[in-house]
Amino acid sequence: MQMMAQFFALMMESQQQQAEFMREVARQNLATRNARGHHDGAPQNSSYSDFLATRPPTFNSTTEPMEAENFLRMLESKFGLLNCTPVQKTLFAAQQLHGAAGAWWANHVASMGTDRQITWDEFKDAFRAQYIPAGLIRRKAREFAALKQGNRSVEEYCEEFNRLALYAPEQVDTPAKRKDRFLEGLSAKLQDRLNLNMGGTFAEFVNNAIVAKDGYHRVMAERKRSASAIGSSNGPPQKFRMVYTTTKVPLRPRAGTCCAAASASTAATPGTASAAESRRISPTPAAKPSTRIFPLLQLRPSGAFLEGVPTPQEEH
């Protein structure tokens, strides 16, 4: 707790010193302007009010390195409208750091000594080391190398492509490289459609991809409508149900059964005619074929009955 109290006290002291320094800079600017009377035409240093009039961005914290880089780039554009010294730029920029970023800067200033003035280049180096580390840049570059369209629309894929391309400028430093890398991440269907149309600017190439994607969706929708129309004209598919019926099948005696029995009877009685003569003289009458009822399984259309087959009402 004591260390935390010391930290916050140090942070408050640093902020008060910065505010006092800002007031001193403003007083010096006012004194210089009054002394010169604005008649010598020499450029005057811009004030903090002039800086605020440009509506500079603020920064809290982020996990996206390019957001931090955008903050620095926007500040540079604002300073291009003003006449500020390197130390003034640092003081003005520090006032735009809020929340976690403001606490980081107060700690950074305290670690360097309260009497030391920090230039704008030193501010940018410290800021980039904190919010744009090299390891995170390499990770984002790998994400760009593996970027695919997947389930995204062409517009969503293009937005992600442009965001991640900032971390791998060497892969998109020419129009040809940029279009090749964009095409590589598109779906296979769009690649086939765009392979022969690689001309124009990158913006035109993206527009061609959007048009090709829309055309593909129209073709697929038309095919689906055509298939649905053909199916409805033929009517719904016929449904079948299983029906059990019965039929009578004649049973035939196995060949040689009656003859074999007659031969055995003739041979067992002495003094009778031979088996061959018995067969010639008294042939055994053929057995009358019998019948047995077997169930049959038939497929009938639902609600219809086959001709010659009894309906359930007729069966009962």
Residue 270 lies in a domain: no
The pTM of the full predicted model, rounded to 2 decimals, is: 0.46
Domain of residue 164, residue span: 136-223
Domain boundary among 189, 223, 257: 223
Residue 296 lies in a domain: no
Q: Does 165 lie in the same domain as 85?
A: no
Q: Does 178 lie in the same domain as 89?
A: no
Residue 273 lies in a domain: no
Q: Does 115 lie in the same domain as 24?
A: yes
C-beta separation of 262 from 284 below 8 A = yes
Q: What is the pLDDT of residue 8?
A: 44
Put residue 105 in one of left, alpha, beta given phi > 0 → left and psi -120 to 50 → alpha: alpha
Q: Which residues have C-beta within 8 Å of that of residue 87, sequence separation ≥ 6?
A: 117, 118, 119, 120
CA dist 138 and 160 (Å) reads 17
Residue 211 lies in a domain: yes
Domain boundary among 193, 223, 253: 223
- The span from the first CA to the last CA of the chain, in angstroms, equals 97
Q: Does 142 lie in the same domain as 106?
A: no
Q: Does 153 lie in the same domain as 121?
A: no
Q: What is the pLDDT of residue 301?
A: 55
CA dist 85 and 78 (Å) reads 13
In DSSP terms, 292 is beta-bridged to 249
Residue 176 lies in a domain: yes
Q: What is the pLDDT of residue 84?
A: 95
Residue 126 lies in a domain: yes
Q: What is the pLDDT of residue 162?
A: 93
The total number of structural domains in the chain stands at: 2
Domain boundary among 132, 160, 189: 132
Average pLDDT for runs of 10 along the chain of length 316: 47 57 58 52 83 96 90 96 95 96 94 85 95 91 94 92 91 91 90 72 77 68 71 60 59 55 49 52 55 55 50 50
C-beta separation of 85 from 47 below 8 A = no
Q: What is the pLDDT of residue 1?
A: 46
Q: Does 140 lie in the same domain as 127?
A: no
Q: What is the pLDDT of residue 81?
A: 94
Q: Please choose, from the candidates 51, 66, 35, the residue with its C-alpha nearest in 3D space to the C-alpha of residue 137.
A: 66
